[in-house]
Amino acid sequence: MTQHIIHPIPPVYNENSKILILGSFPSVKSREAGFFYGHPQNRYWKVLAGVFNDVVPETIPDKKTFLLRHNIAAWDVIASCDIEGSSDSSIRNVVPNDLTTILGTADIRQIFTNGKTAYTLFQKYTVPLVHRDSICLPSTSPANAAWNLEKLIEAWKVIVE
């Protein structure tokens, strides 16, 4: 069943954030957990821990601290949309998030998108507003079975270059 959902998770960033990583829209599990990449099978936190040679954060406070310690801002492209469960392919009636506060507060040197859907949505809805491009990273979603954890970590190392 398709529902109209307003993004329930505020962005994580501060004035020291240097990179911005955007997903598409929180999954059902993330919305239930109240934080980004809340599905236990999503490899986002394991990938970032691998990239930074750090421990995998477990709690929401630990995850926020991890992001800020590594100068990462995190949010999603979409502010609200019609969506069926967690299905990116079902997304309709998109309203993009306003990134101007993050971009005005932090010296964001590069924007990355987590997966092709986030990248496509960013190109369509966000580039015309912020006049900045993004680099598409392979999705950390369990649906992206072609990429194992080691391959994802290698590809995501571009965020620290």
Q: CA–CA separation, 116 vs 136, rounded Å?
A: 7
Candidates 1.10.8.50, 3.40.470.10, 3.10.20.30, 3.40.50.2000; correct CATH number of 2-160?
3.40.470.10
What pLDDT score does 89 carry?
87
User: pLDDT tens per residue, the chain (161 residues)?
Assistant: 899 999 999 999 999 999 999 999 999 999 999 999 999 999 999 999 999 999 999 999 999 999 999 999 999 999 999 999 888 889 999 999 999 999 999 999 999 999 999 999 999 999 999 999 999 999 999 989 999 999 999 999 999 98
CB atoms within 10 A of CB 108: 19
Q: Which two tokens stand for residue 133?
A: 């491009």
Whole-model pTM?
Answer: 0.96
Q: CA–CA separation, 125 vs 39, rounded Å?
A: 26
Q: Where exactly are the structural domains of the chain?
A: 2-160
What pLDDT score does 127 carry?
97
